């Protein structure tokens, strides 16, 4: 890849690690990280170019992309599911306004655009188990509404204007570098932090509530592989189901107990996030991603647990 890459929302849970990976793969100076404001993440803000960018400001985004001669944008800036239910107007403005600006600029300036969708694009009427690639999408959260609309808009810009748009439907992501930003699946990250800090966790998601989860390294692998895939083979450009594991809180606790036998899991269920979780699938069928660009995850639950506990033990000891 010769041209530069720009990442929006780069100081979030995914952006922090994506920027580090892209800088390793393509060179630090070639990856411009941007976010609404500076946060204490020197691995991103000081490891290469960093700029303040509000994605709802199309002019500022356009000027930066033109000035830096950007060839690919990873558009991560968004308001996630739980925060979105408290601030639906903001979620629409950022998730749809920001994406529309990115798509219009991609049309005008001819760059490739990666945008993640989510398991949140599905809703209560979607088949919950092994949810097919193409199925009913009637989400009942503002976040989910913006994800379905975003998938369709990205398809439209590809078909109508030949913009190179690509994306995946991400499960809940588990990582240890930056904390998650206010989603429903965040419990599956917090449980590992509390396992190290207190050897116990109080879950806001109830036992028996299954959702797809994935270790961050697998998600980043999917981003890079999809962006490097042969476009001729991509049928479902903007909304590939990808999956690694379907788990509930009890399964994660059992996995943690393989390494910390005394770990205690309790429950203090939050009705709002529980309702969102119940509206999402239990597990996704990712056969289209496997067939069209060779998707395959590396981490199962126990490998992820071992890695999370090891890395957090080092991090929290500092």
Catalytic residues: 143
Residue 229 Cβ vs ligand SER, minimum distance, rounded to whole Å: 22
Residue 181 Cβ vs ligand SER, minimum distance, rounded to whole Å: 8
d(CA 10, CA 34): 5
**How many chain residues interact with ligand NAD (CB under 6 A)?**
29
Neighbours of 260 (CB within 10 A): 14
Q: Is 203 in the site for ligand SER (CB under 6 A)?
A: no
CA dihedral 132, 15, 173, 154 (to 10 degrees): -10
Among 185, 203, 238, 307, binds ligand SER (CB under 6 A): 185
- Which positions from 18 to 57 touch ligand NAD by CB under 6 A, shown as an x/- string? -----------------xx----------------xxxx-
User: Taking the CA atoms of the chain, what radius of gyration do you get in angstroms?
Assistant: 19
Report yes or no: 192 and 174 within 8 Å, Cβ to Cβ.
yes
Closest listed residue to residue 282, CA positions, set 209, 174, 216: 209
Q: Is 14 in the site for ligand NAD (CB under 6 A)?
A: yes
Q: Considering Cα of 67, then 59, then 80, then 283, what sign does the dihedral take?
A: negative
Report yes or no: 106 and 163 within 8 Å, Cβ to Cβ.
yes
184 binds, among ligand NAD, ligand SER, none (CB under 5 to 8 A by kind): ligand SER
The residue (of 266 and 298) whose beta carbon lies closer to ligand NAD is 298
Among 5, 7, 15, 91, binds ligand NAD (CB under 6 A): 15
The answer for residues whose C-beta is within 8 angstroms of residue 165's C-beta and 6 or more apart is 103, 106, 112, 113, 114, 115, 154, 155, 157, 158, 237, 238
The residue (of 172 and 281) whose beta carbon lies closer to ligand NAD is 172
Between CA 247 and CA 94, with CA 154 as vertex, the angle to 5 degrees is 75
Residue 118 Cβ vs ligand SER, minimum distance, rounded to whole Å: 3
- Which positions from 293 to 312 touch ligand NAD by CB under 6 A, shown as an x/- string? --------------------
List of residues contacting ligand SER (CB under 6 A): 80-81, 118-120, 143, 172, 183-185
């Amino acid at each position: 890849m010769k041209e530069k890459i720009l990442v929006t929302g780069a100081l979030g849970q995914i952006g922090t690690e994506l920027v580090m990976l892209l800088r390793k793969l393509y060179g630090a100076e070639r990856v411009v990280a941007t976010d609404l404001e500076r946060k204490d993440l020197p691995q991103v803000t000081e490891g290469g170019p960093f700029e303040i960018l509000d994605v709802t400001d199309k002019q500022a985004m356009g000027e930066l992309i033109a000035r830096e001669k950007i060839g690919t944008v990873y558009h991560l800036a968004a308001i996630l599911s739980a925060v979105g239910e408290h601030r639906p107007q903001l979620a629409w403005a950022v998730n749809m306004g920001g994406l529309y600006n990115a798509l219009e600029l991609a049309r005008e300036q001819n760059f490739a655009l990666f945008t993640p969708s989510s398991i949140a694009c599905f809703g209560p009427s979607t088949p919950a188990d092994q949810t097919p690639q193409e199925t009913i999408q009637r989400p009942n959260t503002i976040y989910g509404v913006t994800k379905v609309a975003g998938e369709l808009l990205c398809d439209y810009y590809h078909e109508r204007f030949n913009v190179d748009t690509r994306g995946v439907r991400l499960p809940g992501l588990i990582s240890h570098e930056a904390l998650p930003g206010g989603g429903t699946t965040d419990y599956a990250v917090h449980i590992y932090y509390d396992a190290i800090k207190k050897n116990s966790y109080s879950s806001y998601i109830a036992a028996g509530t299954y959702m797809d989860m994935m270790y961050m390294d697998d998600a980043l692998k999917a981003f890079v592989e999809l962006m490097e895939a042969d476009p001729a083979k991509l049928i479902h450009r903007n909304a590939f189901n990808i999956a690694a594991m379907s788990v509930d809180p009890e399964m994660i606790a059992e996995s943690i107990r393989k390494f910390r036998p005394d770990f205690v899991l309790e429950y203090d269920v939050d009705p709002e996030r529980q309702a969102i979780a119940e509206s999402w699938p239990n597990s996704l069928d990712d056969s289209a991603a496997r067939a069209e660009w060779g998707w395959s995850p590396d981490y199962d639950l126990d490998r992820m647990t071992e890695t999370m506990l090891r890395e957090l033990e080092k991090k929290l000891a500092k």
